[in-house]
Structure 1
Amino acid sequence: LYRLFIDPKYADLTVTCGTDVYRLHKSVVCPRSDFFAKACEGNFKEGRDSVIHLDDDDGLAVRLMVYFFYHLDYPQISLYGRDGNCDDGVPRQRINVFESGRDEESTKNLIEQEDLSQVPGESTSESPDPTPTTRNGQRKAKMRAESPPTPYDQIHALVAEDEFPHEVPSEMFEIYHSPNLIIHTKVYQLASAYFVKGLDKLACNKFERELDIHWNSSDFAEAVMLAYASTEMRDTGLRNPIIRTLYSHPELLDKSEVQDIIFKNRDLSYGLI
Structure 2
Amino acid sequence: MQEQQVRAIFLSDIHLGTRGCQAERLLDFLRHHESQYLFLVGDIVDFWAMSRGIHWTSTQNTVVQKVLRRARKGTQVIFVPGNHDEALREYCGTTFGDIRVEYDYIHQTADGRRFLLVHGDEYDQVTRHHRWVAVLGDVAYNLLVRINNGLSRIRRRLGVSGYWSLAGYAKRKVKTAVNFIFDFEDSVMHGAREKGVDGVICGHIHWATIREVDGLTYVNCGDWVDSCTAIIEHFDGRLELVQWGVTAAVPASATQAPESVGSETPALH
TM superposition score normalised by structure 2: 0.29
Q: Which structure has the highest helix share of the two?
A: 1
Higher strand share: 2
Choose 1 or 2 for highest CA Rg: 1
